[in-house]
Amino acid sequence: MKSIETYSPRKLSEALRILSERREGIRVIAGATDIIVQVLERKKDPGALLNISYLDELRFIREDEGTVRIGALTTHREIERSPIIKKRGKLLAEAAFIVGSPQIKNLGTIAGNVANASPVADVVPPLMVLGSVLTLKSSSGERRIPIGEFATGPGATVMRPDELLIEISFPALRPDEISFYERLGQRRLLSISKVGVAFRARCAGKKLSDVSIALGAVAPRVITAPRTAAFLEGKEYSEEVAAEAARIVESESKAITDIRSTESYRNRMAGALLIRGFARVFQSFPG
């Protein structure tokens, strides 16, 4: 077996110190579900590794004063099963359920998924519409940036080499808010998304406001759908409104054709999933 220089600090401060000293020469791992595959397939030489999986201080889900805070090391399985997330960020739990296999979900962390900056990451569209903020920490300080400003392209982010993504937080969903995450893969589970749609809005009766929509797998990074959101703002939900919103979101989707799907299907499905999500939510909605 190939040996890789690996650091496994027990304290966050120690991890940040190693990062500040090594900078580009080191790659951060937590669940390591991506890097292990890449190394085994010899597609990537990771150089040195900083294994942060012992930093138990980064393993938490809590709600304080209307804000849900998720530690970087929280796994998809923990998110999927968390009563707080199920209540205060339900669509994130829906997305975490879809990710990978049970084995991947038990190891893979939410921060790892976000930091990878993959346009197909299932947890990112829900985090976008929830208005998540990422906390990036380095030995010289801490900064908080909205998740929408984090990824700049596939695998590329604004994070500096000496920074660590330590926390993801978002305003807890309130009882008058509706949300959903819908996605399509090449099969029901164990597949990478071909297209994913996250939706959140306030809803009074059937009247929508403060609408937020994010689309996965239809652009080099997860994108929002501002024109669709603007169209829906102040509208009462009906099947006709949903159909019109679907037409708009299809034009905001910027998909490409690859081995998993086609441009036209993906764009059209951005609309279809919006319709499907609405139907699901309003079927059980008390209004």
Partner 1 sequence: MTTIFSLIVTMVPPHLNPPPQGGRRIERTYEEWKRTEVESVRSKAKAADMAAYKYIGKRITRIDARPKVDGSLKYPSDLYVKGMIWGRVLRAKYPHALIRAIDTSAAEKLPGVVMVLTHKDIKGINRFGIERQDQPVLCEDRVRYVGDAVALVGAETKEVAEKALELIKVDYEPLPLLIDPREALKEDSIKLHEKGNIVHELHFTRGDIGSGFAGADVIVENTYTMQMMDHAFLETEAGLASVDKDGLLTVQSCGQYAFRDVTQIARALNYPEEQIRMIEPYTGGAFGGKDEITVQILLALLALKTQRPCKIWFSREEHFISCTHRHPVEIRMKTGVTKEGKLVAHEVWVLQDGGAYATLSGPVLCLVIEHCCGPYLIPNLKVDGWAVYTNNGMSGAFRGFGATQAHLAMESQMNILAERIGMDPLSLRAKNVIRRGDTFGIGEEMIMDFGVDQSLEKAMKHPVWTDRERIKREGSSGGRGDRGKKRGIGVACCFQGSGLGKGLPDYAATTLELNKDGTVTLFQGTIEIGQGSYTGITQIAAEILDLPPEKIRFVGADTKRTLDSGTTTASRVIYAAGQATLLAAKNFVEMLKGEASKIVKSPPETLLVEEGNVLNRSGRKTVSYREIASSLKEPLRAEGVFHIPVADREFSMGLPHTVFCSNTQIVVLDVDTLTGEVEVKKVIAVPDCGTVINPINVEGQSEGGIVMGMGYALYERNVIENGYFKNTGLSTYILPTSWEVPEIETCAVEVPEETGPFGARSVAEVVTTPTAPAILNALYDAIGIRFTDLPVTPEKIIDALERKKKKQ
Q: Does residue 269 belong to the site contacting partner 1 (CB under 8 A)?
A: yes
- To partner 1, the closest distance from the beta carbon of 157 in angstroms equals 23
Structure tokens at 63: 């709600």
Q: Does residue 81 belong to the site contacting partner 1 (CB under 8 A)?
A: no
Q: Residue 58, Cβ neighbours under 10 Å: how many?
A: 23
Q: Does residue 262 belong to the site contacting partner 1 (CB under 8 A)?
A: yes
Query: Distances from the Cα of 139 to the Cαs of 49, 80, 100, 132, 133, in angstroms?
Result: 18, 32, 33, 23, 20
Q: Does residue 188 belong to the site contacting partner 1 (CB under 8 A)?
A: yes
Stretch that binds partner 1, among 48-56, 65-73, 206-214, 261-269 (CB under 8 A): 261-269
Q: Does residue 187 belong to the site contacting partner 1 (CB under 8 A)?
A: yes
Minimal CA–CA distance to 180: which of 131, 148, 150, 214?
A: 214
Q: At what angle do helices 239-252 and 263-284 cross, to 10 degrees?
A: 150
Stretch that binds partner 1, among 24-32, 120-128, 163-171, 183-191 (CB under 8 A): 183-191
Stretch that binds partner 1, among 23-31, 81-89, 155-163, 189-197 (CB under 8 A): 189-197
Q: Does residue 174 belong to the site contacting partner 1 (CB under 8 A)?
A: no
Stretch that binds partner 1, among 166-174, 202-210, 230-238, 270-278 (CB under 8 A): 270-278
What value, to the nearest 5°, has the Cα angle with vertex 123 and ends 249 and 160?
105
Q: Which is nearer to partner 1, 194 or 235 (CB)?
A: 194
Q: Does residue 214 belong to the site contacting partner 1 (CB under 8 A)?
A: no
Contacting partner 1 (CB under 8 A), which of 21, 56, 210, 239?
239
Q: Does residue 109 belong to the site contacting partner 1 (CB under 8 A)?
A: no
Contacting partner 1 (CB under 8 A), which of 41, 45, 64, 65?
41
Please tell me the count of residues contacting partner 1 according to CB under 8 A: 26
Q: Does residue 273 belong to the site contacting partner 1 (CB under 8 A)?
A: yes
Contacting partner 1 (CB under 8 A), which of 39, 158, 275, 281?
275
Q: Does residue 192 belong to the site contacting partner 1 (CB under 8 A)?
A: yes
Structure tokens at 150: 């984090």
Contacting partner 1 (CB under 8 A), which of 191, 209, 241, 244?
191
Q: Does residue 43 belong to the site contacting partner 1 (CB under 8 A)?
A: no
Q: Which residue(s) pair with 1 in the sheet?
A: none
Q: What are phi and psi of 135, to 5 degrees?
A: -100, 115
Q: What is the largest CA-CA distance in the chain?
A: 61
- To partner 1, the closest distance from the beta carbon of 119 in angstroms equals 16
- To partner 1, the closest distance from the beta carbon of 113 in angstroms equals 16
* Residues that bind partner 1 in the complex, under the rule CB under 8 A: 1-2, 41-42, 184, 186-192, 239, 259-262, 264-265, 268-269, 272-273, 275-276, 279
